[in-house]
Amino acid sequence: MKILISGFDPFGGENINPAYEAIKLLPDSVRGAEIVKMEMPTVFHLTAEVLEEKVREVDPDVILCIGQAGGRCGLTPERVAINVDDARIPDNNQQQPIDEKIKKDGPAAYFSSLPIKAMVEKMREANVPSSVSNSAGTFVCNHIMYQVLYMIDKNFQGKTGGFIHCPFIPEQVIDKPNQPSMSLADIVKGLKAGIEAIIERDGQEDIKEMGGAIH
């Protein structure tokens, strides 16, 4: 198995993005699966072009994207990506789409094809806080998750894909009172556990465990 794992460059005034910093620290092989790492630009549409080029180059079985979600206190595999860009802040090319469809010919939403419940369970077994997220937002993270699943649907059938959000790391919250953070080491440990779950559940349905949210 080959897994392409991608993370964004810093955005929103931050000097670091824990997503890509964690990816760089992952091993090159997990449970016999090859791990291919890449950084993506936090730019609407360009990020999908860069990622698709890499997919065509390395032909992975799994496409896993990682992004920063400041304010969250755990690793959160995303359940669904919606077909809308509605940017609260500009991206790194100063684009700020408002209520725009990502793909005019795409469905309203795509669900992750990764075993998100098994991933959460495995992360918790590694003593890393984790839960299923039912909203990937409407910024570039949701955008790339939707684009990945659209790519798979239209051009790369047989592959699987999805997205995980990670919290700030401690150095990012020094000037952000009451914002949660997670050590980079724990983010790496959690991502590795999530990858192990993807490998273990290959070809199987996800586990049935509680992961819903009231609000």
Beta sheet of 33-40, edge-to-edge order: 29-30, 33-40, 2-8, 62-68, 160-166, 76-77
Question: Which residue in 65, 78, 143, 166 is the catalytic one?
Answer: 78
141 in catalytic set: yes
At residue 214 the predicted structure's pLDDT band, cuts being 50, 70 and 90, is: confident
Question: Which residue in 65, 121, 143, 165 is the catalytic one?
Answer: 165
215 in catalytic set: no
pLDDT at residue 23, as a whole number: 98
Mean pLDDT of the chain: 97
pLDDT at residue 215, as a whole number: 79
pLDDT at residue 213, as a whole number: 86
At residue 125 the predicted structure's pLDDT band, cuts being 50, 70 and 90, is: very high
Domain boundaries, the chain: 2-200
pTM (two decimals): 0.97
pLDDT at residue 171 is higher than 90: yes
pLDDT at residue 204, as a whole number: 95
74-84 mean pLDDT: 98
88-93 mean pLDDT: 98
Q: Is the domain defined by 2-200 classed in CATH 2.40.50.100?
A: no
165 in catalytic set: yes
Full 3-state SS string of the chain: CEEEEEEECCCCCCCCCHHHHHHHHCCCEECCEEEEEEEECCCCCHHHHHHHHHHHHHCCCEEEEEEECCCCCCEEEECEEECCECCCCCCCCCCCCCCECCCCCCCCEEECCCCHHHHHHHHHHCCCCECCECCCCCCHHHHHHHHHHHHHHHCCECEEEEEEEECCCHHHCCCCCCCCCCCHHHHHHHHHHHHHHHHHCCCCCCCCCCCCCCC
179-203 mean pLDDT: 97
36-53 mean pLDDT: 98
| pLDDT tens digits along 1-43 | 999 999 999 999 999 999 999 999 999 999 999 999 999 999 9
Q: Using CA atoms, how far apart are residues 145 and 112, in angstroms rounded to an integer?
A: 8
Least confident range from 33-42, 140-149, 206-215: namely 206-215
117-138 mean pLDDT: 98
63-81 mean pLDDT: 97
Tokens matching residue 137: 């937002």
Tokens matching residue 43: 């730019």
Question: Which residue in 65, 141, 143, 166 is the catalytic one?
Answer: 141
